[in-house]
Amino acid sequence: MKLIDGKKIADEIKTEMAIEVRKMIDAGQRVPHLAAVLVGEDPASQTYVAHKEKACKEVGFTSSLYRYPESMSEKDLLEAVEFLNRDDEVDGFIVQLPLPKHISPEKIIKAINPKKDVDGFHPMNIGNMVLNLPAYISATPYGILQLMKHSGIETEGKNCVVAGRSNIVGTPLSILLSRNNKDANCTVTLCHSKTKNLKEVCAGADILIVAMGQLEFIKADMVKEGAVVIDVGMHRVPSTETKSGFRLKGDVAFDEVSKKCSMITPVPGGVGLMTVVALLMNTMKAAKNEIYG
């Protein structure tokens, strides 16, 4: 079994990006600028945003964080989005989800200028992605594609099962992996909570990608011998062994599944790190006007 080292791949991409930023500075250009909007005090969201800020610093991007209280109104958040849409110094920005219950995430996402939508959640970017036109691809699927490409995972003619059909992970990933291109040319089955015989379907996969949000749901008997397993799940599990008081685990029962597959992503150290890198890649594209000219 080979561990897919998300940290190593993420570091390699970040090193290349830092070189590119250095060249931009030498050419007298402004460095890419990623802004993040954080509403409320959700601990996981605060951690994700902190990781994004740290990654920006590592590659030399400018980052800015707009923090607002949980009580912020939808109208005020729409104004904050509009402010960032108009700020020429900001190349791309994200509104960290989830939002407080009184704010519609759909309304907020639709208000983001698609040209600055580096999270790739705007309907225009999703639509372009489906049509195989230039688009910002949402960070987690984009990061997984990078992870697969850099790990040399063969996709042509392979049976891929994606477990979980969320708008931000499973559904876009299922579309991207069934493209007619070198790095993503699978026959894809998309599973969800109404799928019959999930165990058998998963056990038929050459490549199994799990984004279910169910702690260690995928056991060894659901995985084919020699399969590639990508675990998107992220769960904070209480732990007395860490300073933070918790440790991260995935949707896959790593200890038993890793004995059976040919390649697997660990949690942490797999998909999560690549998600942040993919966001940086999208921000670089925004700074260079690569998607929408």
Binding residues for ligand NAP, rule: CB under 6 A, are: 140, 163-166, 168-170, 191-195, 198, 211-214, 232-235, 251, 271-272, 275
As measured in angstroms, the least distance from the Cβ of 190 to ligand NAP is 9
Report CA-CA distances (Å) from 173 to 9, 99, 145, 161, 206: 19, 23, 8, 10, 16
| Bridge partner list, 210 | 163, 231
As measured in angstroms, the least distance from the Cβ of 210 to ligand NAP is 8
As measured in angstroms, the least distance from the Cβ of 12 to ligand NAP is 18
As measured in angstroms, the least distance from the Cβ of 175 to ligand NAP is 14
- Closer Cβ to ligand NAP, 4 or 163, answer by number: 163
Task: Point out the catalytic residue in the list 14, 52, 224, 249.
Answer: 52
Task: Point out the catalytic residue in the list 5, 91, 96, 206.
Answer: 96
Examine the residue annotation and report whether 224 is marked as an active-site residue of this protein.
Answer: no
Task: Point out the catalytic residue in the list 119, 206, 231, 251.
Answer: 119
- Closer Cβ to ligand NAP, 78 or 168, answer by number: 168
Examine the residue annotation and report whether 52 is marked as an active-site residue of this protein.
Answer: yes
Q: Which residues are catalytic?
A: 52, 96, 119
